Amino acid sequence: MLDIQFIREHADVVKESQRKRGESVELVDEVLTSDETRRAALRDFEAARAQQKEIGKKVAAASGDDKAKLIAETKELSKKVSEYKAAADAATGEYTTAMWKLSNIVEPEAPEGGEDDYVVVKKVGDIRDFAAEGFEPKDHLTLGRGVAGIDMERGVKVGGSRFYFLRGAVARMQIAMLTMAVDQAEEHGFTLAITPTLVRPEVMRGTGFLNSHADEIYRLREPDDQYLVGTSEVALAGMHENEILNLENGPLRYCGWSSCYRREAGAAGKDTSGIIRVHQFDKVEMVKYAKPEESYDELESMVNDAENILQLLGLPYRVISLCTGDIGFSAAKTYDLEVWLPSYGAYKEISSCSNCVDFQARRANIKYRDPENFKGSRYVHTLNGSGLAVGRTMAAIMENYQQADGTIKVPEVLVPYMGGVEVIGDQA
């Protein structure tokens, strides 16, 4: 949620951000109009309530006809107070609804454009030349079936479309990859958290996922009212809801491990084959709570931490800066890390690192004490780095480390986590 005082004073900045995002500019005027209506309604209510209290004092001191007259006046005023309160509540509801529709303000340096207008920041690693090696690379699903490690058919039989079983050494390699990612995160100052995968609507709303991503979320209705998370960011960003944090020793850094669930509504095409775009997956995520003046340095550090995992795995990847029309609802700036998938002949997103500044913190009321620069407390900045290790990483490992005979080499960094296994498939 944005700061209403900022919107009042800098409506042009908010409108420009909405324009760059390709979203409603008129929504800013709707917010300002509803804000004026809300404030007027609250003034009327507060004035009537003050008058009611004043007459109440007079009633206590009056007697006879004067007291009866005042009592009658109080009853009449009580009706007006109720009406003013109802009007103020309705106006506040309309204002809140409009405010929560507004996306975060994109950073001025974020490149303008849509999904295909990203800016490549860097490319790392050599793309393997399979033709020079004399064989045609297989996709990860073919490889997984070949080593009895991926079973889509039985996954569909049990869970429906886009569910799957990982088995044997491939399942072990996923656990190895996730564990390695956690070890690396802890080395870089993150605290491991295994998070709830069911959250209250208020938590899901506070992180901003009930806007543009609402159709991707599984919801449990009566007798429960909870959501299945699509990322541990939701639980980690809601963990300190309504708290005042101590950031004197630096940002709070969390590494979340959770199962994740997404409906992937409307998704189609090649991504639906294999484990690239599925309904359930395990993931390691980064979330930070930082002071405003530190948050952009923390974003760059988060990108470096995500890159470190891909470098250790020896996977070719690139870093891109997302354009304003592709930045998520809650984010002000986002970098995507994309890994090379031979079966696509292209880079595919594997991690997304964003600075949400104080947008989520305002929605969840998360602050920190800052007595030196501000009286009392200020809203923290929240950051997230999704997909530190995820199913797509597994697909990339399998495809980039495949051998001509259909077996899969285990990346050197994962061999100790695999009990010394160096090749998957010899025992299949």
- The residues assigned a catalytic role are 262, 277, 349, 352, 392
* CA nearest to 102, candidates 30, 5, 40: 30
| SS (HEC) of the chain | CCCHHHHHHCHHHHHHHHHHHCCCCHHHHHHHHHHHHHHHHHHHHHHHHHHHHHHHHHHHHCCHHHHHHHHHHHHHHHHHHHHHHHHHHHHHHHHHHHHHHCCCCCCCCCCCCCCCCCEEEEEECCCCCHHHHCCCCCCHHHHHHHCCCEEHHHHHHHHCCCCCEECHHHHHHHHHHHHHHHHHHHHCCCEEEECCCEECHHHHHHCCCCCCCHHHCCEECCCCCEEECCCHHHHHHHCCCCCEECCCCCCEEEEEEEEEECCCCCCCCHHHCCCCCCCEEEEEEEEEEECHHHHHHHHHHHHHHHHHHHHHHCCCEEEEECCCCCCCCCCCEEEEEEEEECCCCEEEEEEEEEECCCHHHHHHCCEEECCCCCCCEEECEEEEEEEEECHHHHHHHHHHCECCCCCEECCHHHHHHHCCCCEECCCC
HSE of 227 in the Cβ direction (CA atoms, 13 Å)? 24
Distance of alpha carbon 197 from alpha carbon 199, whole angstroms? 6
Are residues 399 and 137 in contact, defined by beta-carbon separation less than 8 angstroms? yes
Question: For residue 317, what are the β-bridge partners?
Answer: 124, 339
> What is the rounded distance in angstroms from the CA atom of residue 125 to the CA atom of residue 400?
12
| Distance of alpha carbon 364 from alpha carbon 153, whole angstroms | 42
